[in-house]
Structure 1
Amino acid sequence: MTLGCPECGALEDSSALAGRMLARCRVCHYPLERASGRSVGAALACSLTTFILLLPGNLSPLMTVHLLGAERSAVLGSGIASMWREHFELLAVVLGLTGIALPLARFSALSLVLAAVLWGWRPRWLGRCYRWTLWLDAWAMPDVYLIGCFVGYTRVTQQLTGSIDAGGYCFVVAAFMSMLTRATLDRRTVWRAIAPERHVAPGERVLSCTACDLIAPVEHAGRPCPRCGLKLRKRKLDTVSRAAALSVAAFVLAFPANLYPMTISYQLGHPVTHRIIDGVWELFQAGLWPLGILIFCTSIAIPFAKLAGMAWFIASVLRRSDRHLRAKTFLYRLIDELGRWSNVDVFTIAAFVPLIRFDGVANALPDDGATAFALVVILTMAASRAFDPRLMWDAAQARHA
């Protein structure tokens, strides 16, 4: 049985990988198989628990704060609804999808797929459904939302008295279970249960599916993959131009995202604006160095590092560079994994804005920098997802052809 490495395109004998705790691609060292601590049953238990706990986590109050005898409670969607009312519709849609709608869709669908695999049920739509759950993995962000809620709660309770409610505890556990689901999910075993890999005859010209890595004859290009339903292509379509356009758009928006205020607070009628760097400095001044470093890394360092990395990858393809291919492949994997965590700062706003609603005393609203920053995160994530790292290896081979 043969599969294609999703990062360099090399063909690997899957039978030689079976049973190994961690099997890497012989060319780029991508982890093709990771069996340690992973099983379909454990992933199903974690996924189903996450979905069940997300329901009260979304519907019940997360936290409550008190000021001068008044109190304010917030559910998970309170900040998003507040952004919509204040005419930040685009920001509200982005956070509503990534923080609420897509997590519910991902974990409900993933639970269904894993249950079907365990029970030996193989409907025709199973491969497509599983492909979509894996695609949603990057865009469903309950774990990122949890960190944002924690930072927001910490900032609020620096000046106010607060408490975590039942919905907050449910959401905390759901977010941790979502991370356990990622850690225990044996993706390759699930794909093989849906449809096994095939043998490749010596000299046969083949391509690998860009979603599930299934090998197919090159003549099948343009047909649906028999396992996941995605149209078979040797490489992702127009990957360099799409990744470059998305990266340039993110680079342009990075400046207003960092220069414009993310929030504006009213304290006894006096407006106070907060940029990303202001929030980091406030955390440092409050002695919360770990949180300050976390926000600096996720909101400032990582977005610009992602843009620099994407520029390096695109230049590598265009120049047909054959240098540092393994390092570039590893950096691409890191950028693709860490990109979602840049949304912590925007989720922080969604967490604390509905709690600061004490008319005449204190109030907080999102500002234009928040929308720009959320778009930077989404565009950089889309750029890394659009790029095909196998093109860097193709370009290096073409240089020596």
Structure 2
Amino acid sequence: MSLALSLAPLAYVACPECDLLLNPVVPEPGDKAYCPRCGYLLQRPRKRSIERTLALSLTGLILIVPANLLPMVGIKIFGNSQDGNLWTGVSALFKEDMWAVAVLVLLSSVLLPLVNLGLAFLIGFHLFMHKANNQLARWMHWYEHLNEWAMLEVYALGIIVACVKLAGMAELRFGLGLFAFIGLLIVNAMLSNELDCYFFWQRIAQLTKK
């Protein structure tokens, strides 16, 4: 889909679940719009979506630094201690020649969340300041596509499984990096919930017309 088509006023919208063509409606914040055929939730406008997106994305950008660099879990076994963070985990996978897994972890747990937070901040900042930018639509496209691949939850599940397996074998210490990562996980989930894509596209179209 071209950027021009994305910004054009929509005569109809298709239900993602059953493909029923519907006249576009804009519910009031707090209300919901459902597909009359299958009951799929089409829209759920958020109150102050731009302001919350800006605040959450900035918080996420701050948290992602300690979440990546500070120790997350320390292990003490047979008198030997070792601390680990996201980067040491990725480097260990590379050293074990598990290149595909290492690249997947690096992309889904480090790079893509960082890019997504940066895009959300840029979009939210321009919409909040009412500043037109010819890259807004492109950034929004990238955010929508990359958001599906930023999988912090998968890495969090891996941490939980590893801690459960090691709990009976070694002494575990939880570092500040783990708490920063948990905060990042919560902020990222809230951001995905608060960023109203339909409303953002409307605001981008309005700014582009000016």
**TM-score, reference length from structure 1:** 0.46
Separation in structure 1 between the aligned mates of residue 11 and residue 42 of structure 2, nearest angstrom: 12
Partner residue in 2 for 1:284 = none
- Aligned residue identity for 1:2: A
1:156 to 126, 151, 166: 166
The residue identity in structure 1 corresponding to 2:194 is T
Counterpart of 1:172?
A: 182
Q: Structure 1 CA distance, aligned partners of 2:27 and 2:15?
A: 18
Give the corresponding residue for 1:2: 11
The code of the aligned residue for 1:55 comes to V
For the residues of structure 1 that align with 2:133 and 2:15, how far apart are their CA atoms?
A: 26
Following superposition, the deviation at residue 63 of structure 1 comes to 1.1
What is the correspondence of 1:57-68 to structure 2 with a 5 Å cutoff?
Answer: 57-68=67-78
Residue 80 of structure 1 is matched in structure 2 by 90
Post-superposition CA distance 1:189-211 (Å, at most 9, x none): 10100116xxxxxxxxxxxxxxx
SS of equivalent residue, structure 1 residue 138? coil
Shift in Å at residue 37 of structure 1? 5.9
Letter in 2 for 1:18: P
Aligned to 1:252: none
Structure exhibiting the larger radius of gyration computed from Cα positions: 1
Q: Are 1:55 and 2:65 matched, yes or no? A: yes
Query: What CA distance in whole angstroms lies between the structure 2 residues aligned with 1:190 and 1:113?
Result: 9
- Which of 18, 22, 31 matches 2:27? 18
SS, match of residue 22 in structure 2: strand
Q: Aligned to 1:32, what secondary structure does the other structure show? A: strand
Task: Report deviation, 1:66.
Answer: 0.7
Q: Structure 1 residue aligned with 2:104, among 56, 76, 94?
A: 94
Instruction: Find the aligned partners of 2:167 and 2:136 in 1 and give their Cα distance.
Output: 46
Counterpart amino acid of residue 59 in structure 1:
L
Say whether the 8 Å CA contact 2:91–2:102 is kept in structure 1. yes
For residues 54 and 157 of structure 2, the distance between their equivalents in structure 1, rounded to whole angstroms, comes to: 24
1:33 to 37, 43, 62: 43
Alpha-carbon contact 1:5-1:30 (below 8 Å) kept: no
What is the SS of the residue equivalent to 1:47? Answer: helix
Partner of 2:36, secondary structure, is: coil
- Of 108, 115, 134, which residue of structure 2 is paired with 1:105? 115
Does the aligned pair in 2 maintain the 1:58–1:76 contact within 8 Å?
yes
RMSD, aligned CA: 2.1
Using the TM superposition, give the Cα deviation of residue 91 of structure 1 relative to its aligned residue in structure 2, in angstroms: 1.4
For 1:97 and 1:43, the matched residues in 2 are separated by 23
Aligned residue for 2:148? 138
- Give yes or no for the alignment of 1:121 onto 2:131: yes
Q: TM-score, normalised by structure 2?
A: 0.85
Instruction: Map 1:1-400 to 2 at 5 A.
Output: 2-7=11-16, 8-15=18-25, 17-19=26-28, 21-35=31-45, 39-195=49-205
AA of the residue aligned to 2:74: T
Amino acid at match of 2:11: T
Quick check: 5-14 or 63-72, which moved more?
Answer: 5-14
Instruction: Say which SS state the counterpart of residue 107 (structure 1) adopts.
Output: helix
Greater RCO, 1 or 2 (C-alpha within 8 Å, sep 6+) = 2
